[in-house]
């Protein structure tokens, strides 16, 4: 009798694991789509829309999601160098960050692996280049994705400006 209970438990656990894996896949896909929609607001055509940052030894101080900066640690190198949430990493030590089409999970995985490898192997001091988003478009895009007023998603977005302070990124 105890063996039957164990077999039922094992089968239930396997089913739950499959359901959880499906949810993880769905969340990853939706996150990828959101990242790509936000990334389309980046202008990378002129040098004034990019910023080069030279990082020294130690933690960089920012987090990426598909090449998009999603967090900047207060007081970090990234914060000091002016990296902001919404910036897109486009170049690592002279290597162009690979691009991929929205929804291309394989392309995104390849790009993420290359970015992580290049960031890890980057000699210090090392140069990272970020494309700067257009704030008004970023706010408008956030509104269309969330159905909310832009000012509630990104304060100042409706006025064409986004003020990212250390409080916002802490």
**Structure-token match 């769905």, residue found:** 26
Residue by residue, what is the 3-state secondary structure of 59-103? CCCEEEECCEEEEECCCCHHHHHCCCCCCEEEEECCEECCCCCCC
Q: 114: which 2 tokens?
A: 């290359």
pLDDT averaged over every residue in the chain = 75
Q: What angle do CA 57, 62, 65 make, to 5 degrees?
A: 130
pLDDT at position 137 is 47
CA distance 89 to 114: 12
pLDDT at position 85 is 94
pLDDT at position 37 is 47
Residue-wise pLDDT for 51-97, tens only, equals 999 999 999 999 999 899 999 999 999 999 999 999 999 999 999 99
pLDDT at position 166 is 37
pTM: 0.54
Positions of the chain with pLDDT under 70: 1-2, 30-48, 135-170
Instruction: State the DSSP code for 118.
Output: H
């Amino acid at each position: 009798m105890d063996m039957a209970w164990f077999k039922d438990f094992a089968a239930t656990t396997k089913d739950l694991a499959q359901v959880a894996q499906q949810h993880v896949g769905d969340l990853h896909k939706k996150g990828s789509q959101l990242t790509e929609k936000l990334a389309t607001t980046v202008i990378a055509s002129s040098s004034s829309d990019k910023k080069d940052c030279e990082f020294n030894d130690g933690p960089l101080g920012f987090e990426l999601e598909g090449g998009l900066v999603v967090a900047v640690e207060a007081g970090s190198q990234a914060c000091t160098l002016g990296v902001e949430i919404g910036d897109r990493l486009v170049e690592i030590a002279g290597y162009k960050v690979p691009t991929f089409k929205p929804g291309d999970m394989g392309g995104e995985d390849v790009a993420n692996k290359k970015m992580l490898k290049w960031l890890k192997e980057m000699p210090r001091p090392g140069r990272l280049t970020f494309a700067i988003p257009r704030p008004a478009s970023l706010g408008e895009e956030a509104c269309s994705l969330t159905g909310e007023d832009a000012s509630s998603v990104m304060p100042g977005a409706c006025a064409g400006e986004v003020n990212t302070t250390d409080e916002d990124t802490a």
